Amino acid sequence: MALTIRIRSRDGLERVTIENPNNITIADLKALIENQLGIPISIQTLSKDQNLLLAKTLDERIRFGDMADSQTLVFCLGVSHGSVVFLGYEGEGERLVAGPAVSPAGSFGRKMTINDLIKKDCENESLSFAAKRGGFKYDEELVNAIALGLEKLKIGTKF
């Protein structure tokens, strides 16, 4: 049975899958983090305390020693399937953990030129010249006539 541990760092939340969870040590967990997330063992600091994420220097990270002994068994620390382990490492200014692959769909995330923006604006303007009242579509002149008849001022396409 595979065991999944959630690894929370300043880069976000990642998951590490352990295929054989029997007798896994902190050293084994660090090796899996290196293999699956690409963070070298030498710069990793692991802890069950979320305040590790607030530590900015190596001296501050050293204070979190609950997972410092590499021979300690993971399950002895209360880590089980779905547990969160916090990860601090040097060089957190640049993202070492690759984020999920993103492929934009539809109009979100797509590059637009100024011509595309003008075209969209013209489409919106032409749609706004028609107002739907009582199931019938009126053009702008008829809407203006109705507005004058009701003695209302027309601001844009709304009264």
Q: Where are the domains of the chain?
A: 3-89, 114-149
Please name the amino acid found at residue 15: R
Degrees to nearest 5, angle at CA 110 with 108 and 114: 115
Q: How far apart are CA 66 and CA 70, in angstroms?
A: 10
Task: Report angle CA 49, 43, 60 to the nearest 5 degrees.
Answer: 45
Contact of 109 with 49, CB cutoff 8 Å:
no
Average pLDDT for 134-150: 65
Cα gap 44→10, rounded to integer Å: 13
Least confident of 49-53, 80-84, 93-97: 93-97
User: Between residues 156 and 72, which one has the greater pLDDT?
Assistant: 72
Out of 2.60.120.1140, 3.40.50.300, 3.40.50.11540, 3.10.20.90, the CATH code matching 3-89 is 3.10.20.90
Q: Using one digit for the tens of pLDDT, what is the confidence trace for 9-44?
A: 888 888 988 888 788 889 999 999 888 888 888 888
What confidence score (pLDDT) does residue 59 get?
Answer: 81
pTM for the full predicted model: 0.57
